[in-house]
Chain A
Amino acid sequence: MLNLLHIEYKKLIPYSTFWMIFGLFFFFTPIVFYGAGQIKIEGFPIDFTTMYNFPNIWNNITYIASWFNLLMGMLIVILVCNEFSFKTCRQHIIDGHSKADFIVSKILLMTSFALICTVYLFITGSLFGFISGGNGSFTAQINYLLVYFIQALGYMSVGLIIAVLIRSSALSIIMFLFSILAETIIRTLVPDFIGQYFPMKIISNLTPVPTPEGMITEQMRNTIMQEEMWLNTTLLIAIIYILAFWRVAYFILTKKDIK
């Protein structure tokens, strides 16, 4: 297993696209997060800098970072499609990997990416939290980081399945973005109680839109409680989707010729 991950990083370290995408993530997440706290809306007496305070910060920063998860999904699409356009997937199998090894390599890679992003958010969030000096609980909502981890894995798994199916980089990226749009359109055509279980909806719901602290009324607290319970269900469904995506990606790979 570690050998497979080692091979993946041997390919990645000299690859500039990999550094560029991670660079964007590392650079822009804290900047956008900082910027969001500086928003002032006229006649709206809310101090957005409270979003840096523990424990809400975990919901807030993972929500901001979730926008960059699309980038991670695209990175996986590019990396997997490369294996087909360079014909290195074919060569690796000829040289002595199994098709399962190919999928497992990518799963390990995605997991490591998700882990890196989560650890980075943990560090960034801690810094923001301690600097802002709020006295809320550090750990109370830290579970949002786990949820974020699963979301990152979710977007990347969608990327994997599209890349394995389509194999061409440009077309796969278009399909990756289009699948989100297409799902939104389809969702409007089906009843809500079905639509809410669609994969992209489930995955994007993992990082719910935070409510600024000053806006929370007693009535809203109830809804928030319900939302948090719903989050656990969402998490479970997301994990099931992700496992299913991996299984289907493997199935596609075994059924199609590798040219």
Chain B
Amino acid sequence: MGEYGAKDARWISMAGMTPVILTGALFVYFCGMVPTIASGGIIRHSIPWIPSLDIALSFYIDGLSLMFSLLITGIGALVMLYSARYLAGHPQFARFALYLFSFMLSMLGLVLADNVLALFVFWELTTFTSYLLIGFSHADPKSRRNALQALLLTAAGGLALLAGFILLGFATGTYELSEINAAGSLASNPLYGPILVLVLLGAFTKSAQVPFHFWLPNAMAAPTPVSAYLHSATMVKGGIYLLARMHPSLSGTDAWIWTLTIFGGVTAVFASLMALRQTDLKQTLAYTTLMALGTLTMFLAGSSGYAITGAMAFLFVHSLYKAALFLSVGIIDHATGTREAGVLGGLAGAMPVTAAAAGLAALSMAGIPPFLGFIAKEVAYSGAVGASLWGFVVLAALAANALMFAVAGIVAFKPFFGPQGKLPHAPHEGPWPMLAGPVILGVLGLAFGILHGLAASWVIEPATNAVLGFTDSGGRVKLWAGFNLALGLSVVTFILGAILYLRHQALRDRLAAIEARGPDFDAGWDRLMAWLVVVAEWQTRLIQTGVLRQYLFATFAVTAVALALPLFWLGALQLDLAMPSVTLREGVVAALIIAGALLAATTGSRITGIAALGVVGIGVALIFIIYGAPDVAITQLLVEMLIVVLIAIAALRMPYLDPTDKGPAFRPRDAALGGVLGVLVALVMLMVTAGPIDRRLTDFFEAASWTEAFGRNIVNVILVDFRTLDTFGEIAVVIVAALGAFALLRSARRDKGEERE
């Protein structure tokens, strides 16, 4: 990041400041709603969107959406301020600011939408905008690949989610989340199973639960402010938000409890081990985010007040400290040119403010009293003890928290106080726009810990009530809850964490060895992509042969099937054939057409073919004459003559129909298809002509031809009066065809001229 954000770079610009101000204003706006929501109120706005489908663009603000909105706008404003300085002088900074701001708005829409289809649209918008953000360094192939991976994985989950939402609409008869949740549990609905699977697929891909976790660490290819934003309060919390939002209608069943507990628990433990294994500070943080997502999922499995309060408190505090830590790592990277845990150390002297901010955030993350992180952990432990699968949940939570304690040390203690390695740049303190974020967020973690009553009544308890679907007793968020099991677990966490921190370098090598033997999801993804490309190539070669005959064959075959299906399968075929009485005149005409058509199909001679076509044309003209259509017959004859003349001019300059002397080869496959299609068309025509006819239009033309248009030849009146525009179009077609033909012939002449020169 050396070339941008230099000390003297100009960082105050329209593009940089506008989003900060707008987002800050939104934050203030949402702050204004806190009293209403905290006292149990709900704000709902609805505007018609697709009235014909009864879909409204409705927004719904309760405790849960408000907490998310505050985090999204509050952290968003700080991150935008930070990026203005971080990327100052970047040639594409304006683009970046636009992406980030669009992402912020999509995320806001996601958490505020009441209509599930609107929620889905915002969900996909966050996917697309995050794709742009992750792939912002688009010159780097790795960055592009990782962005695409995030896009494909979360968009695929999004499609599953859409299917789940549509089923939800079928099951409940409404697309409004507030109404769906008000209707209570869906557990007895026959569609519950499919809905649960599809919604969880969406939530798990977005929130990177194992085995969909691998896109999240890869998404670290993004500039650090993006990681700070996407992986603290926003993008990845989208899935958690969904789980929380659907909690009243989907939770409480064995399927819900088991799935969320196991996926969440496995993700949490796996991710904290992986976090310990990383040497890049940003990667370490990425895995702790994964760990937080796993823990949140695990606690959302439960329905007790403690479990949900724990989840909401943890969600809130995690957003604060994780954003602060990411931003601090960005400052370290910016100042020293490296994020390697091995070389960073002793920076506290050169970067005191960063050290303090990161320290505050890390203490909250480690769960030290009196930080909010401690309280969140205590409440969560109390929830874990009361969980359905309490043994598993307590162990997973304990392991994750202890590992997190160790990681907090690695990220925020060692770089500032440990031994210093060889750094690419001499460290210097970050500029104030970059420090503002970590400092404010770090201090908030402490402030809310001390003033925990405020945090509880303003944010955490309203959110808990929204998730539970009823008003909880509250009062669980407190600094001192007495000597209880949770406190004991905390003490065990600290001891374990301290041991892990002291031995983390040895552990890291051990973990790396284990990781090397385990399944590589990322490589699996690459294989899947390569396989997709192979399948695409295979089917393209199969379908796109570049041979005209094969395309035509497919088209005719599909037509034949489309005709045959309703006739035979759906039983539309009804034939009541009387032996037709054919007069001699009709018999002769029919014989002419039959002979002409067969001859044209089988002849190997151009002259015979042209003559045979002429015979067919004249036969058709005779039919027109016999059955009262003299105008049509005249046109047909004229056109027929023109065709013969044209073919005679052009075709005789072209080679023989068959290159060899053997004559035309019979093509049984084509003949079979032709025969089948011919029989089908004949059957349809027999049915059509045997059925009733709607003569309303004809009656109108017969009555109006003289009385309104003053013409006695009804056909002519239709063409030049009632349907003039059609005739005009017809003339246009002929002119365009003539112009096209003329241009083609002229270009041929020019080619020849060039050849002569």
Instruction: Report whether chain A binds chain B.
Output: no
List chain B positions with a Cβ less than 8 A from chain A. none
Residues in chain A within 8 A of chain B (CB atoms): none
